């Protein structure tokens, strides 16, 4: 079974230009798909450590993207995910 990330940012630009295909909403992408789009290698997929590390790197990327726009706090990421 493929794991899906819950409540990922819904703003298309938050994951980077072209991160999600236009016909797919970012919240329906798998961890592998998001990591691949961002150039993140998943170490030991389907292990707690590997999946947590990949997720943390994705969150770090999103926060970095927000920080470039003057919004680099976790609360900003949470607000962006509800738009």
What pLDDT does 55 receive?
A: 93
pLDDT at 58 over 50: yes
- The mean pLDDT of 49-71, rounded to a whole number, is 89
Over residues 12-52, the pLDDT tens digits come to: 455 555 444 445 666 688 999 999 999 999 988 888 999 99
Global pTM?
0.61
Of residues 11, 2, 24, 21, the one with CA closest to residue 65: 11
CB atoms within 10 A of CB 23: 6
């Amino acid at each position: 079974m493929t794991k899906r990330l819950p409540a990922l940012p819904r703003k298309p630009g938050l994951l980077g230009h072209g991160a999600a295909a236009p016909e797919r909403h970012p919240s329906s992408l798998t961890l592998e798909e998001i990591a691949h789009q961002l150039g993140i290698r998943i170490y030991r997929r389907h292990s707690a450590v590997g999946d947590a590390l990949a997720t943390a790197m994705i969150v770090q990327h999103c926060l970095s993207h927000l920080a470039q726009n003057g919004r680099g706090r976790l609360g900003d990421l949470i607000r962006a995910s509800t738009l």
